[in-house]
Structure 1
Amino acid sequence: MATEVAAPLDGAAVRRWTRSATAARARTTLGERLSEAWGGFVTAGIGVAVAGGSLASLRERIALAGAPVTGTTLPASLTSAALTLVALAGVVVVLARLGPVSATPAAAAWWLPLPADRRSLLRGELVRLTVAAGAVAVLLALPLVLGAAAAPTAASVLGGLGAAVALAVAAVGGTALLQTGRRGRGVAGVAGAVAGAAAVVPAVAGTLAAAGGGPVGVPVAGTLPGWAPAVAAVAAAALLVQADRGLGRLDAGRLLAGGATARDAGGSLLSLDTRQLGRALAGRDRPPRRSRRFSRVRRPWQAVVAADLAVLARGRWQLGQLAVAAAVPVVVARTEGLGALPPAVWAGCLVGWGLAATAAGRAAREAHGAPELDRLFALSAAAVVRSRAVVPLVATALVCTLSGLLLGVGTGLLGSWALLGLAAVPAWAAAALRGALRPDPDWSGPVVSTPMGVLPAGVGATLVQGVDVGVVGSLPLLAALGTGGPTPLLVAVQGVWALLLAVAVLVQLGRRRSPGS
């Protein structure tokens, strides 16, 4: 008697059946989906138009700007290349944290145990990720392409967009290929090191050139030939094809871990909870090479400080973030064109010092997630807050002072610039604590409808807590940049103003974090 052998399940058919069953049970009509898609398209178009107009206005302001406060030694092309490298490294880090190919808990429970071809099951995930990366690359690159040239042409716009899409697709294909070969564990660390070098090297080169009295000499890059985007697209497609061939080798454990991370990160992004988003994308800390007894720790507040130092030292990213934070203001101030715009240099200082505050506040963010640890110390809530301010104060002091020192090279006011950076430290240390200990979004109250979905009312005010103190505390720095450089009066005003803001923030945090809360 002949036995009939059942054909193996086809992964594409499983995905098709799942989509049909989901559509049959969905309550959303086709008209509602089209309306949501149109709303998202209009929102993206408005954002691109606003960004393109802002960049065009910035180009005009650069053309009409006067003499810079600090010597500009970096060509704009070099800074643009460094920024592109940082953006590409950031994409690789996010992809490596998410898998990049992953399976949600539902897919891992229902799809992966099926006797179906895993390669065809996971191909849809790779395709969706590639399309999403390409769409994001277009949205981010379009304003830059439109605002970079005075009279952009169709060829220049299409060439720039093609290059951006090719880089994004290559990042997806490369990280997926490493994942299928089980060699993707160190990709995020390598990408982070590349991003750090892309920010620090131009800052060092610009400072050395300013000390020597001449600009950084780089070869002039001509227009990219028309075949360059085509070659990049072919290389990206080749990476995708090789990654697709290895999808069947992915094990369920890694797919499930990546899916859980993607779910947490997506939920945090939609709810605008940047603190939880950072936790979802954070890597593991370095294990200590040897145990430390902290023999000099005698009092409870010293134990808090020692614990914060240990968290900062064992983090894989925090020390690199501090180095990048010191370099960002220098790169902006030394770049030809941007250095002549005081608001642009001030924005560079805000970005760099905000990054330093984020890195220095990591221990406080972890304490906010596990408040029971603070109750183990024989300290009041106000004393715990003051103790947790020590590490952010030291870290931001190093970064802000170093940034000010490097900005002053070649200006003849080296000490004044260093003191101006040091005077802003209390505000940024307080910003680190205020951002780390800000309350979670309150979902029990009223909600509002946004293009990203339903969000709690007032979530925007919660999101900027911490950043607001740093921005307001750095207003005297903007005045110094706009008036030609720091003066003793402006340095004193900056120090007093930042100190008053810091004291007010510490008092407010100490009262809010009551022992019984």
Structure 2
Amino acid sequence: MAVVGGTVSSLREQIAARPATGTAVLPGAVTSLVAAVLVVAGLAWVLARLGPVSATPAAAAWWLPLPADRRGLLRGELVRVVLVSATAAALVVVPVLLAVPVTPAAVDVLVGVATAALLTAAGAGLLVVLQAAGRGHRLPTVAGALACVAVVGAALTGAVLAAVDAAPVTGWAVQPAGTPLVGAAVVAAVLAVLAVVAADRRLDRLRAGDLRARGEIVQYATASTFSMDTRELGRALASSPRPPRRARRWRRVSGAPTAVLAADLAVLTRSPWRWGQLAVGAALPVLAARTSGLGDLPALVAVAAVLGWALAAVALGEPSRRAQASPALDRVLPLSADVVVRLRVVVPLVVLVGVCGVSGALIGQGTGATAVWAGLGVAVAPAWAGAAVRGGYRPELDWSGPVVATPMGAVPTGVGQTLVRGLDLGVVGTVPFGLALLVGTPSALWVPAQLAWALAVGALAVGTARPRD
């Protein structure tokens, strides 16, 4: 918390030293609250996927079948879940509390941290109650929808206010009107105690099959985390696929190339999660550009653009990840491996043209060169499309070679190169766009330069993507 607080304080000083722009119309407190909503929704999603209470396969095999009280066995797991959730909330709420007031007081920050931690503990207890009742299956969907609405809604609000020439909010944030934080902390403490007690009393109602299944997911996710294998971690936390509600006839599929494109479209259109990721990816750069303070620092807007477009590229790289996991599916096609890889980039390219183009146009809103910024966004798309395919076809971790001792355990020597594969060329392809943000008023000549650079980087990314043998 001390590191986070020092970072936010340093950022406030940098923002105060720069002149305010006329298009940054959202107060910093709004963006901070959106970030908090994102983290809380992510925490709720992870807890819902992992249990939140689970049992290891050994405990499920030895202790759960016994005719004994199950509460004593699972109480330690409940305590760990509550403590981890409260600690995560305390870390997240620090920048929010520092961003809301102009001159934050130490007492208010401490009371706010305690309130957030207690409310999160109450939420963790409520999740256990829902798990015991068998009603928490839709919570990940609700959490994802809430995060998407928060980011997209805030970005659209900022774009609308900038379009109507609303007065920008000066400074990092506004001074709140004396919120009774102590009373809120007391209420949060009462709710936390009631929720945790109710969860403890329902531990014996958790079904053994559900505990065993959640325990396997936890072990899978834990092993993936300690080995720093983000792909396996994503597979561990991914929800089970749902069958389509109605059949679709692909009448225009007349050969192997169009079959590959149709399959990629089916993966995208049948997953609401992918659409949410694309919406959030397009909105993140706009939210940073429209926020008072953040919009005055071009480097932060460039970082937000990289994060948003990387999220969109990850969503569009799902067909490539599936092909890497099951290479036999592509081998039945009468196409060479290089042709299939090149076909995989078509759908990401088309979608990213829209995502990056919308982001670029809204970033350049109010600068008098909206068309140029929209063109720059469209020109970035080839680099991120190639990055999506390159990241999807990245090789598995090689455990046959030497390993390195880390605080998380032994990991392969090439784990860092594997983690950034795909993202590396996407960031390189965005360099001209970042330079344009630093310049502030790019000319029309920047668009063909960005396009040529992105095409070269995208071609390199696709050329270095190799399917598994």
CA drift of 1:433 comes to 1.0
Asked if residue 310 in structure 1 is aligned to residue 263 in structure 2, the reply is: no
What SS is found at the alignment partner of 2:88?
helix
Asked if residue 59 in structure 1 is aligned to residue 12 in structure 2, the reply is: yes
Deviation per CA, 1:79-132, whole angstroms, max 9, x where unpaired?
A: 111111111111110111111111111111011001111233222211111122
The 1-side partners of 2:103 and 2:251 are apart by 66
Asked if residue 129 in structure 1 is aligned to residue 81 in structure 2, the reply is: yes
The 2-side partners of 1:164 and 1:186 are apart by 24
CA RMSD of aligned residues (A): 2.1
Within-5 A mapping of 1:247-266 = 247-266=203-222
Which letter maps to 1:136?
A
The 2-side partners of 1:421 and 1:113 are apart by 58
Residue 166 (structure 2) aligned to one of 214, 218, 225: 214
Asked if residue 513 in structure 1 is aligned to residue 445 in structure 2, the reply is: no
The 1-side partners of 2:142 and 2:394 are apart by 32
- Per mean C-alpha deviation after superposition, the further-off stretch among 50-59 and 88-97 is 50-59
Contact 1:96 1:187 (8 Å CA) reproduced: yes
Asked if residue 233 in structure 1 is aligned to residue 189 in structure 2, the reply is: yes
Which letter maps to 2:10?
S
Which letter maps to 1:513?
P
CA drift of 1:487 comes to 1.7
CA drift of 1:489 comes to 1.9
Partner of 1:77: 29
Structure number, greater radius of gyration: 1
What SS is found at the alignment partner of 1:317?
helix
Partner of 1:501: 457
Percent identical residues: 50
Deviation per CA, 1:289-337, whole angstroms, max 9, x where unpaired?
A: 2222312111211111111111111123111111111111111110000
What SS is found at the alignment partner of 2:396?
coil
Partner of 1:482: 438
Partner of 1:367: 323
| Gap runs ≥5 in structure 2 | none
TM-score by length of 2: 0.94
Which letter maps to 1:406?
L
Asked if residue 243 in structure 1 is aligned to residue 199 in structure 2, the reply is: yes
- Per mean C-alpha deviation after superposition, the further-off stretch among 315-324 and 218-227 is 218-227
Partner of 1:417: 373
Partner of 1:319: 275
What SS is found at the alignment partner of 1:448?
strand
The 1-side partners of 2:166 and 2:102 are apart by 28
Contact 1:96 1:184 (8 Å CA) reproduced: yes
Change (3 A) 1:85 1:140: closer
Which letter maps to 2:18?
A
The 2-side partners of 1:221 and 1:56 are apart by 18
Contact 2:39 2:92 (8 Å CA) reproduced: no
Contact 2:57 2:212 (8 Å CA) reproduced: yes
Deviation per CA, 1:234-263, whole angstroms, max 9, x where unpaired?
A: 212211221222222111111111111111
What SS is found at the alignment partner of 1:424?
helix
Number of positions where the alignment pairs a residue of Structure 1 with one of Structure 2? 465
TM-score by length of 1: 0.85
CA drift of 1:233 comes to 2.2
Which letter maps to 1:85?
V
Residue 469 (structure 1) aligned to one of 422, 425, 428: 425
What SS is found at the alignment partner of 1:174?
helix
Asked if residue 273 in structure 1 is aligned to residue 229 in structure 2, the reply is: yes
Which letter maps to 2:306?
L
Partner of 2:179: 224
Which letter maps to 2:78?
L
Deviation per CA, 1:133-181, whole angstroms, max 9, x where unpaired?
A: 2233344445766788787654134223213312321231121111112
What SS is found at the alignment partner of 2:334?
coil
The 2-side partners of 1:403 and 1:147 are apart by 25
Partner of 1:42: none
Contact 1:420 1:477 (8 Å CA) reproduced: yes
